[in-house]
Structure 1
Amino acid sequence: MADIICQAINFDPSLMMHVMQPAARQPGGYHPQPGDAVPNWCICGRCREMPTQSERRCCGKAKCLSLYPDFDLLILHERVLALARIFRRDLLVFEDDVDLMRANRHQAYRQFTLWSYGRLGAGDRRVIPSCCVWRIRDMFPDPFGQYKGYIRSRLG
């Protein structure tokens, strides 16, 4: 089979782009949809079920924090995220992620943390409310629905 693929690519090099892309990018993994039942621990009405107990956290607002205009501007706006990634790359000498959706998603998590809690020190991590996590994930989804979720600090 490998020989056939190599022959096909030698015949038409543009086929390499099709070989490198996943076939059908269908969501999989853990990704509850917006219309699913609201969990009983949710106050704002926009949370979705989370895989672990520590991630089952709501913003606690009557009008969901993920619907604030500032959330759209500071956390979801792609130009703001691009600028923040450039700043992070230049200041901390981090390489950009080649997957733009994942890069935006992870930067949006960092932006939310900065917006909500201010600058945190090394090893200080906070759980992002479910409603905000899913708003970010809906905007910048993983094509296979594979998310790491909250990871506790190794320092604490």
Structure 2
Amino acid sequence: MQDSRMDNLAWCDCNHCTAMPTVDECLCCKEVGPVAEKMEDEDLDCITDHEGFTGNCLNRHVIEVSLYDFVERQGPIDDNEPIHELYRYVAYIRFSRWIWHILGKKRRKVIPTCAVLKIREAFPSEDFTGFKYARP
């Protein structure tokens, strides 16, 4: 039954999702408790319509400053690294921080499909890497 998530969009209640490559990634914002709570506070249909999402995850200037923080903590990045891929990665980090606050090292959560799609639209590239669980 779970596999059917990749075959249809019946699981999406915000009308901003699309089928993703894995079942885990087929997740609507309304299915994630802390995300749904943020939306209820603002009476929104989708987390991507939230002012906090736009400011935290799509604003290039905010993402740029967060990238500097990321580089300071993680070390230098390859000069050939595509900037949109880095911005997208930082946007995912910012989304997780905004919703779940502090997850801790090697703890990851799946970001709702609608949010992933909006971030990918803002910071496009040829290839996208789907959600990956942290290595033990």
Q: Could you tell me the TM-score, scaled by structure 1's length? A: 0.69
1:96: how far off? 5.8
% identical aligned pairs: 30
List runs of 5+ in structure 2 lacking aligned partners: 1-7, 31-35, 37-43
Q: Distance in 1 between matches of 2:69 and 2:61?
A: 12
Listed one character per residue, the Cα deviations across residues 17-63 of structure 1 (whole Å, up to 9, x for unaligned) are xxxxxxxxxxxxxxxxxxxxx71110111111111001110000561
Q: Distance in 1 between matches of 2:53 and 2:129?
A: 22
1:134: how far off? 0.1
1:92: how far off? 2.9
What RMSD, in angstroms, separates the aligned Cα atoms of the two structures?
1.6
Q: Distance in 2 between matches of 1:148 and 1:119?
A: 23
1:112 equivalent among 95, 100, 107? 95
Q: Does 1:69 align with 2:39?
A: no
* Mapping 1:87-102, distance limit 5 Å: 87-95=69-77, 98-102=81-85
Q: Could you tell me the TM-score, scaled by structure 2's length? A: 0.79
SS in 1 for 2:69: helix
List runs of 5+ in structure 1 lacking aligned partners: 1-37
Q: Which residue of 2 aligns with 1:12?
A: none
* Mapping 1:13-28, distance limit 5 Å: none
Q: Which protein shows a greater Rg?
A: 1
Aligned residues: 116
The one-letter amino acid paired with 1:149 is: G
Q: Which residue of 2 aligns with 1:151?
A: 132
